[in-house]
Amino acid sequence: MIVTIDGPAGAGKSSAARQLAKRLGFHFLDTGAMYRAVVYTAIERGIDLTDADALEQVAASIDIQLTDDSVLVDGQDVTRAIRTQAITTATRYAADHPGIRARLVELQRAAAEGQDFVTEGRDQGSIVFPNAECKVFLTASERVRAERRYHDLISRGEDLTFDDVLEKQQQRDERDATRPVGALIQADDAVVLVTDGMSAEEVVDRLHDIVMQHR
């Protein structure tokens, strides 16, 4: 069974999807981490992110391993390093690149082959797994999403203001919604879950109910 969870930045997809997968005994795939890993590696290698060919070369040459709670690039643990605000902002260079998207989509489909999977991102229900048995569009109001992300970044020791986070989120929403390939769209058959006012546990409970209704 494939369960897709798509939605905008800060909707709480990653943690909810991870918890849901644990509860169901399914594998979990955080596809945003793959785009982040490509850009992180390119920066580490001193590559100009606007050089589309060089960036695609990085995506084609690295080995990305995603376990349930860590991200390894060529064996190096980058789990925390790919979560900074700087990488979050720069990830658009990989996400906007059709060739890199094609490569990562291929890896995502291969990872899910023959497995029970919860996968989260922007295009999982619409493009990557159009025949998924259960699709969820997880969202929350702009302010709630920015507040969650702000508290998350502060707790990781980053120095930024709420307004910075809100502004960057608005820019990311705009890019996610308008990119020519792999834009964030709600699949026609997705169940919409708005998480304003819900605790993390309530979100997972609700997701679990939705999956059970699709089994």
Question: What is the contact surface with ligand C5P in residues (CB under 6 A)?
Answer: 9, 31-32, 35-36, 91-92, 95, 121-123, 172, 176, 182
Write down the least CB distance from residue 45 to ligand C5P, Å.
19
Q: Under 8 Å CB-to-CB from 142, ≥6 apart: which residues?
A: 166, 169, 170, 173
Burial of residue 136 (CB within 10 Å: 0-12, 13-18, 19+) is buried
Give 59 or 182: the residue with its C-beta nearer to ligand C5P: 182
At closest approach, how far in Å is the CB of 123 from ligand C5P? 5
Residue 96: CB partners within 8 Å, gap ≥ 6? 175, 179
Q: Closest distance between ligand C5P and the C-beta of residue 88, in Å?
A: 6
When the beta carbons of 145 and 206 are compared against ligand C5P, the nearer one is 145
- The values of phi and psi at residue 161, to 5°, are -100, 165
Q: Closest Cα partner for 87 from 148, 44, 31, 140?
A: 44
Closest to ligand C5P by CB, 181 vs 194, is 181
How far apart CA 63 and CA 78 sit, in angstroms, is 12
Instruction: Report, in Å, the least distance between residue 209 CB and ligand C5P.
Output: 23
Q: Give 3 or 95: the residue with its C-beta nearer to ligand C5P.
A: 95
* Nearest distance, CB of residue 17 and ligand C5P, angstroms: 10
Residue 128 DSSP symbol: I
36 vs 148, which CB is nearer to ligand C5P?
A: 36
Strand-pairing partners, residue 134, are 3
